[in-house]
Amino acid sequence: MRADPRDGSRDFSLGFWGQRPSNRASIRRANLGIILRLLRDEGPRSRVRIAGATGLPKPTVTSLVAELVELGLAVEGQTESEGAIGRPGTTVHLDGRTVCGIGTEISADYVSVVVLTMRGDVLHERHQPIAVAEAGVEPVLDLVAALLAECLDRAAESGTRAAGIAVAAHGVVDLVGGRVRYAANLDWHDVEVLDGLRRRLGPAAPVLHLDNDAKLAALAEYLAIKDSDIHDLLYISAGSGIGGGIISGDRLLRGAAGFAGEIGHLPLDPRGRLCVCGRGGCWETMIGLGALLRLADASQEPATGPALASAPTPVPTSAPAPAFDAEQRLAELKRRALAGDGPTRDALHQVATDLGLGLGMLADILNPRAVVLGGYFAHIGDLMLDQVRTIVREHVMAPEAAACEILLSTLGFRAPALGAAHLALEDVYQDPAGYRHPSRTI
Ligand SMILES: [Zn+2]
């Protein structure tokens, strides 16, 4: 399509997941998806500007837009001027208000779900704290299935069709088999997630997908940034575990076996604390939420407050096991830091230092244009950001060439579920005319 996909905008000739149209007959359908992605990522525009951005002939764009409008995926809006001497043109907007993707995240400490329309409206959202490792696999899948069934009901009530369901899970996942192969923080080994959910949801459930939580969160952040100059992004997922999602040249980097981005277990301190993976001194033990809380709690004062340190948040009786509320504890830590509590500030300083050292290495390896600090950093990272930026600047090999923006996530703990919802909608972008009749099983 484009001679140079980096000439000021993102590359719309390929989907985020990198599939190319496989034969000539599918090219028209793929071009429908290219226009939809352009409208999603860069906003409404006239047919002339769509033609300019995609390289498609204007008559082809006119025909494709008419089909998208008929499918309910695009809508015509206001007129816009196309230059001083050009006639005003009608803008085309992404619509898809009646099509949604359902995303869910299975985290160590909670399960969340979100129903997202193609237009970007959140129709429904739930966040259920649960200690997943202690609860066991079957009760957790029961809970996820119940939350997903509620999502499907809400979508149906609002006259919206679910294009698919996607699950964001910790650890190493088998995309094709729909399994979590190994997730240390969940204590899951070879868990058949998609089969388990299919059995519970029944044959009428939409197509199900599974992917790694940090990779899906990276997708959500990449789409949320809306900066057409950012093609290379490193997302840091920070909860009880640490993960990474790498976008390189507008594509998700998976590596040979899908493990790319497993940065939480980089051995940054060989003599450090024992990690859940069985080794010592992993980066996760230094900058994960557990590390911050441990450092803060090790102070003379109970930095998180005795109630928060010991008592789980009450949850509905349907939940198999309770878990602490991370956002509540982070709010307490932040209050103490802002009040000048020395030990809390020391804990934040230590985590920020270790975060900056690791990011400096990753910046040299990956040369991202932006680093997005997600998960718990979205709640308290503003107190660490200046220090992190300074340390990265001091430690990268070539401060000028490797300069990257270090940003706080705007999505926080919601990012993986939102990314999953985007993945669930990917079937529509892959084949806007045919998604209503999905034939594949996964
Ligand atoms: Zn480890």
Distance 364 CA to ligand 1 centre (A): 22
Identify the pLDDT of residue 255: 87
Concatenated DSSP letters for 56-108? Answer: --HHHHHHHHHHHHHTTSEEEEEEE--SSSSPPEEEEEE--TTEEEEEEEE-S
Identify the pLDDT of residue 257: 79
How far is it, in rounded angstroms, from Cα 169 to Cα 20?
Answer: 26
Distance 187 CA to ligand 1 centre (A): 13
Identify the pLDDT of residue 3: 36
The continuous run of DSSP H or E covering 154 comes out as helix 137-157
Q: Residue ranges of the chain with pLDDT lower than 50?
A: 1-8, 13-14, 84, 299-322, 437-442
Distance 288 CA to ligand 1 centre (A): 11
Ion ligand 1: residues, CB within 5 A, are 265, 275, 277, 282
Concatenated DSSP letters for 260-312? Answer: TT--TT-BS-TTSPBPTTSSB-BHHHHHSHHHHHHHHHTSSS-TT-HHHHHPP
Strand order in the sheet with 74-80: 45-46, 89-94, 74-80
What is the reported pTM? 0.84
Identify the pLDDT of residue 270: 83
Distance 234 CA to ligand 1 centre (A): 20
Distance 275 CA to ligand 1 centre (A): 5
Cα angle 210, 375, 421; round to 5: 35
Distance 271 CA to ligand 1 centre (A): 13
Identify the pLDDT of residue 302: 42
- Helix/strand/coil for 236: strand
Both tokens of residue 67?
């089909």
Q: How distant, in Å, are the alpha carbons of 8, 108, 255, 276 from that of 186?
A: 41, 5, 23, 10
Residue 280 pairs in a beta bridge with: 274
Identify the pLDDT of residue 315: 35
Identify the pLDDT of residue 11: 56
Distance 287 CA to ligand 1 centre (A): 12
Identify the pLDDT of residue 311: 33
C-alpha distance across the termini of the chain, in Å: 29
Question: Tokens 């998700």 belong to which residue?
Answer: 252
